[in-house]
Structure 1
Amino acid sequence: MDQKKTVIVTGFEPFGEHAVNASWVAVQELKKLGLGKDINLHVAEVPVEYQAVQTLLPSLWKQHLPQLVVHVGVSGMATTVTLEECGHNHGYLRVDNCSFCPESRCCIEGGADCIHSVIDMDAVCRRVNSSGLGVTVSVSKDAGRYLCDYTYYTSLYLSKGRSAFVHVPPLGKPYSAKELARALRAVVLEMLELMEHNDGRKYCLHDQ
């Protein structure tokens, strides 16, 4: 029987000024590195489309039954590798690559305003920053109310909090794709380690 853990890591397709999306480039580099022989790593490119996210994420969960899903997105404002603590349900006003925007302006009608990951992002951040990796990691509580936040909330909702979201800066500002991939590898392995020791921790649905 396969005792290996399964992890899915996703990046996004190009959008707006990001003609090359650093998130998907970094995720492809991570695929080359791998997460070690005990972990099955699956990667997927997510369209920058609200409706595609609603179809793709449940199918990824169903197909692979992962222990953890980590979504990676690019942020033009980021200068560090940024771990997002939570996803938000409301406030989606920007149109996607198909010029579509959800009429409800939310991810899941009737869902909680905010869902936190079960993973302690501050702990992941501390561990990776103290490992001498050469890439700075920080923590954020606002994933930006666009496809990144939308994807994160939807994934947290589907997984009961067993998801994570990481924002990376554009390539070369300041990190290369290989440096970003090394940072993602360190972050994902720390997340798995923490999850193993924190199985009893409940995830937080703010207003439920």
Structure 2
Amino acid sequence: MIRVLLTAVEPFGSDAVNASWEACRLVADAPPADLHLELVQLPCVFGKSLTVLHDAVSRTEPDLVVVTGQGANRPDITVEQVAINLDDAVAPDNKGNQPVDEPVVAGGPDAYFSSLPVKACVAAMRKAGIPASVSHTAGTYVCNHIAYGLGHVIATERPEMRGGLAHVPYTPAQAASRERRPSLASTTAAEGLRVLLRTAAAAVQEPRRPDAGAAAPARRTWLSRKLSGPLR
């Protein structure tokens, strides 16, 4: 049986709920068959979120990790191709931290590619009638921080593990309190995540592509020169 760690982020900002957590709770209530699923809520806090994630990975020993977050402007479930080594927060996290132009991991590569079968997951969700798309930017807030941290754990400690990030749109109730924001019912988002998990779990049993989960090549780019400092 494939061991799966599924995570979502706690509410942050002015919201009393987080769309990713609402969807993941429903997945945990009725997980896909043949998957041993563990659900963990991560704090919306730079640094601490990675500590909680690392502890959860050590405790559960998963084959597959899917981290999810809330995508405020996303019209569908977006599966991220890449996470970058940059914390550049447009707003403070839940502890008041607001890093600007700082690395997630000092000295780490510029980016890590997802080791999920990103396009296959998107295709499977669409086939199931659930709106989904591939994304090439996870932003520079806590979700990207978590996804990059996961990529670093895979690259440096657990190369046999697969993992990546998916963003979930606002719930309808969240969107209703804002102007012109897309939304997706939590039940639909949960079903989409179940399809994603089944598709990703099937790939765990297949040989990995040589570039799956690989770090982007080190380059003397502006980003490489700019980022320095401690692990956050």
Same fold (TM over 0.5): yes
Q: How do 1:1-208 and structure 2 match up within 5 A?
A: 4-36=1-33, 38-94=34-90, 95-102=92-99, 105-130=102-127, 133-160=128-155, 162-172=162-172, 173-199=182-208, 201-202=210-211, 203-208=213-218
Tell me if structure 1 keeps the 8 A contact 2:9–2:68. Answer: yes
Runs of 4+ in structure 1 off by over 6 angstroms are none
Root-mean-square deviation (CA, aligned residues, Å) is 1.8
Deviates more, 1:164-173 or 1:180-189: 164-173
1:137-187 deviations in Å (ceiling 9; x for gaps)? 101011110000000000111023721111011112442111111100001
Counterpart CA distance in 1 for 2:99 and 2:78 is: 26
Q: CA offset at residue 104 of structure 1?
A: 6.9
TM-score under structure 2 length normalisation: 0.81
Counterpart CA distance in 2 for 1:185 and 1:150 is: 24
Q: Percent identity at matched positions?
A: 25
Which AA in structure 2 matches 1:169?
P
For 2:179, the equivalent position in structure 1 comes to: none
Tell me if structure 2 keeps the 8 A contact 1:93–1:105. Answer: no
Tell me if structure 2 keeps the 8 A contact 1:23–1:73. Answer: yes
Runs of 5+ consecutive residues of structure 2 not aligned to the other structure? 156-160, 173-181, 219-232
How many residues align structurally?
A: 202
